């Protein structure tokens, strides 16, 4: 029987929203999203660290079905790592998801696959779900080497994990050239890479892991391009940056089925 993968749509707020702005945005989402939305799709927000407590308090207090998580984590346990935030701290906040290896961290903080792998492990150790972000820069795509590049990032990020751990995590394919540029990948391009990712997971970690790992597309997702991307068989949801900062845009993305052409 084919694995049933519930779609996941996660809003990566990046370095936007003070805790007060985060409360306002979460309230709007809580007001707009319905049980029907949550029955069809897991929906999460990923605020900056400074807003996590406020978002948690609001979601818990109002019993919202919105999930939440963090954009990064230290690979270390608590200790002398000034400015960092540990997986234990995020787990205490009730985070469900934690991004690892977002391209903005790889670019601005020089994170490599070894470090990203240690972050994935730290998240798993605290029973949260890592969202491993991978994706090729423009020059790699132009050279036609995107599949090799992305699969190498995948292998590095998942190194040493058990099949059970891999089957429960989330991979986000985010081509760097599509992030924040308005230049979304075509549905066929997204499918080509997501299919290759699933194939590689099946080959390395076994078919059950490949069938159950959720693979998201990210990069300039908007309400209008979401339905066609979600029609692809190996795309299980979206990691949304800019468009997640506007409640009505994000809700429209979550309701992509209503505009489905299939």
**Which positions touch ligand PEP (CB under 6 A)?**
12, 14, 174, 179-180, 218-221, 239-243
Dist. CA 80–CA 244, nearest whole Å: 34
What HEC string does 219-238 produce? CCCCCCCHHHHHCCCCCCEE
Beta bridge partners of 173: 134, 217
Dist. CA 56–CA 39, nearest whole Å: 21
The residue among 132 and 243 lying less far from ligand PEP, judged by its C-beta, is: 243
Find the shortest distance in angstroms from Cβ 57 to ligand PEP: 25
Find the shortest distance in angstroms from Cβ 71 to ligand PEP: 9
The residue among 87 and 240 lying less far from ligand PEP, judged by its C-beta, is: 240
Find the shortest distance in angstroms from Cβ 104 to ligand PEP: 7
102 is catalytic: yes
- H or E element: which one contains 202? helix 187-205
249 is catalytic: no
The residue among 209 and 226 lying less far from ligand PEP, judged by its C-beta, is: 226
Beta bridge partners of 239: 10, 218
Residue 29 neighbours by CB distance under 10 Å: 22
Catalytic residue among 102, 136, 146, 232: 102
Token pair recorded at residue 35: 């049980």
Catalytic residue among 104, 136, 174, 232: 174
Find the shortest distance in angstroms from Cβ 239 to ligand PEP: 5
- H or E element: which one contains 208? helix 207-212
The residue among 128 and 238 lying less far from ligand PEP, judged by its C-beta, is: 238
CA-nearest of 193, 95, 89 to 145 is: 193
Catalytic residues, which ones? 102, 174
């Amino acid at each position: 029987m084919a694995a049933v993968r519930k779609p996941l749509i996660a809003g990566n707020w990046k370095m936007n929203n003070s805790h007060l702005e985060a409360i306002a945005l979460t309230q709007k989402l809580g007001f707009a999203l319905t049980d029907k939305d949550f029955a069809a799709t897991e929906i999460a927000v990923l605020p900056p660290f400074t807003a996590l407590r406020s978002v948690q308090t609001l979601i818990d207090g109002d019993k919202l079905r919105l999930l939440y998580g963090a954009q990064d984590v230290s690979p270390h346990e608590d200790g002398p790592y000034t400015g960092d935030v540990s997986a234990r701290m995020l787990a205490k906040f009730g985070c469900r998801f934690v991004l690892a290896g977002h391209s903005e961290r790889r670019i601005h903080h020089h994170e490599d696959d070894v470090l990203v792998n240690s972050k994935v492990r730290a998240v798993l150790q605290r029973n949260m779900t890592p969202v491993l972000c991978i994706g090729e820069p423009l020059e790699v795509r132009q050279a036609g080497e995107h599949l090799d590049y992305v699969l190498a990032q995948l292998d590095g990020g998942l190194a040493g994990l058990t099949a059970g751990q891999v089957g429960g995590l989330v991979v986000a394919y985010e081509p760097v050239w599509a992030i924040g540029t308005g230049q979304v990948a075509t549905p066929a391009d997204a499918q080509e890479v997501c299919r290759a990712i699933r194939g590689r997971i099946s080959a390395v970690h076994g078919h059950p892991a490949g069938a159950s790992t959720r693979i998201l597309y990210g990069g300039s997702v908007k309400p209008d391009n979401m339905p066609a991307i979600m029609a692809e068989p190996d795309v299980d949801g979206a990691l949304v940056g800019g468009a997640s900062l506007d409640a009505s845009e994000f809700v429209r993305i979550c309701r992509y089925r209503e505009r489905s052409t299939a």
